[in-house]
Amino acid sequence: MLILTRKLGENIRIGDRIKIIILDVKGGQVKLGIDAPPNVAVHREEIYERIRDENRRASGISSRALKEVAQIFNKGKRREGEE
């Protein structure tokens, strides 16, 4: 992990296209501005984790359902071979 120290108004660059700006520092909080291309997803950690978990749930298929799909597929292959 790279650890950097920055002051208010200073920047951090990630590659050529991502810029992180220190906008404000108050107490235990730091306000960041992130300038990144639209195709780069930028999320707070807790939001990223919720998106990741929801994507995993949405793409999940039970092993039983997978077996049923395989059986249907295999039946179709056998029928093609019968012709």
Tens digit of each residue's pLDDT (9 = 90 or more) over 9-33: 999 999 999 999 999 999 999 999 9
Residue of 35, 29, 31, 32 lying closest to 15 (CA atoms): 35
Range of the domain at 28: 11-82
Q: Is residue 30 part of a domain?
A: yes
At residue 51 the predicted structure's pLDDT band, cuts being 50, 70 and 90, is very high
List the beta bridge partners of residue 25: 30
Q: Is residue 3 part of a domain?
A: no
What pLDDT does residue 77 have?
66
- 6 pLDDT above the threshold of 80: yes
Q: Considering its fold, how many domains does the chain have in total?
A: 1
Q: Is residue 2 part of a domain?
A: no
- 79 pLDDT above the threshold of 70: no
3-state secondary structure of 22: strand
CA distances from 45 to 3, 18, 49, 50, 58 (A): 18, 18, 6, 9, 20
What pLDDT does residue 73 have?
83
pTM more than 0.85: no
Residue of 35, 5, 33, 36 lying closest to 21 (CA atoms): 33
